[in-house]
């Protein structure tokens, strides 16, 4: 994890990914997967992050959030909303971070009806008093 967070070069991240693949950890739900996706996204290689994300058979909320953060930073609210919808379809339970970033994407994209639907889901999940979701 330290190596991934410390590097800003794609080739270093790619070497770490290759090592993870050769040791067999890539498809076993390891947090390293989330860290790889987040690292590619952090250096601005959202397409590589998304490719890795899409190859995984199961995705956790933290993995989804890594991609949502990447698209938020890249000012791509439509992609944030697509990921949110995919997450719901796959029955992955959104958390406070997911709702916060998705509601902001709705505001940025001026899709207020979608924002209301996301807010309703946040309330259903018990986040109506969450300081970040409410802000």
Q: What is the pLDDT of residues 79-130, one digit of tens each?
A: 999 999 999 999 999 999 999 999 999 998 889 999 999 999 999 999 999 9
Q: Which of 48, 132, 40, 42 is nearest to 94 (CA)?
A: 132
18 burial (CB, 10 Å; 0-12 / 13-18 / 19+) is: exposed
Cβ-proximal residues to 51 (8 Å cutoff; 6+ apart), any chain: none
> What pLDDT score was predicted for residue 45?
87
Q: Which of 80, 89, 90, 91 is nearest to 114 (CA)?
A: 80
């Amino acid at each position: 994890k330290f190596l991934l967070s410390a590097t800003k070069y794609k080739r270093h991240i790619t070497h770490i990914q290759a090592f993870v693949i050769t040791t067999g950890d890539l498809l076993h739900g390891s947090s390293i997967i989330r860290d790889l996706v987040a690292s590619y996204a952090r250096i601005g290689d959202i397409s590589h992050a998304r490719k890795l994300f899409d190859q995984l058979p199961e995705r956790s909320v933290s993995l989804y959030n890594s991609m949502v953060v990447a698209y938020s930073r890249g000012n791509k609210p439509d992609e944030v909303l697509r990921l949110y919808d995919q997450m719901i379809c796959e029955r992955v339970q959104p958390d406070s971070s997911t709702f916060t970033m998705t509601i902001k994407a709705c505001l940025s994209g001026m899709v207020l009806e979608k924002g209301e639907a996301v807010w309703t889901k946040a309330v259903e999940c018990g986040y109506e008093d969450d300081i970040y979701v409410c802000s």
